[in-house]
Amino acid sequence: MDNLKEPQGEHCHTNDVHARKSHHSDKMKTNLISRLNRIEGQIRGIKGLIDKDTYCDDVLNQIAAAQSALNSVGRLLLEGHMKSCVVDRIQSGDHEVLDELLVTVNKLMK
């Protein structure tokens, strides 16, 4: 694939919003996907608990666990984003990335 030869983050500072891409390392991708697979399993597990009339407090604890796992994925992605695209776009003089980042951080802080 040609993409792999491109300098990291090249796509981040294009003006074409739809062409913007992220380039996670294979290791990072595998990490994120396996975390999301586990979360998918947790959600399926919660459906099973509700179906079997499991005591609510136990189900609520499983929901808190899935939330915490999803938060971790968000933090990992945020870190990757800041260390690649955000840096690239700031260095190319595009400071709008910070407004975008602040909106997203505020959503995650809710």
Residues in contact with its own copies by CB under 8 A are: 3, 12, 20-24, 29, 32-33, 36-37, 39-40, 43-44, 46-47, 50-51, 53-57, 59-61, 63-64, 66-68, 70-71, 73-75, 77-87, 90-91, 95, 98, 100-102, 104-110
Give me 74's structure tokens.
């968000």
Cβ nearer to its own copies, comparing 3 with 15? 3
- We find the least distance from the C-beta atom of residue 26 to its own copies, in angstroms, to be 11
Q: Considering the complex, what minimum distance in angstroms separates the CB of residue 82 from its own copies?
A: 5
In whole angstroms, the minimum distance from the beta carbon of 49 to its own copies comes to 9
Coil, helix or strand at residue 16: coil
Residues 61, 81 contacting (CB under 8 angstroms): no
Name the DSSP letter for residue 23: -
CB of 7 to its own copies, least distance (A): 15
Nearest to 97, CA basis, from 28, 17, 29, 25: 17
Q: Return the SS3 of 48.
A: helix
Contact 79, 102 (CB under 8 A): no
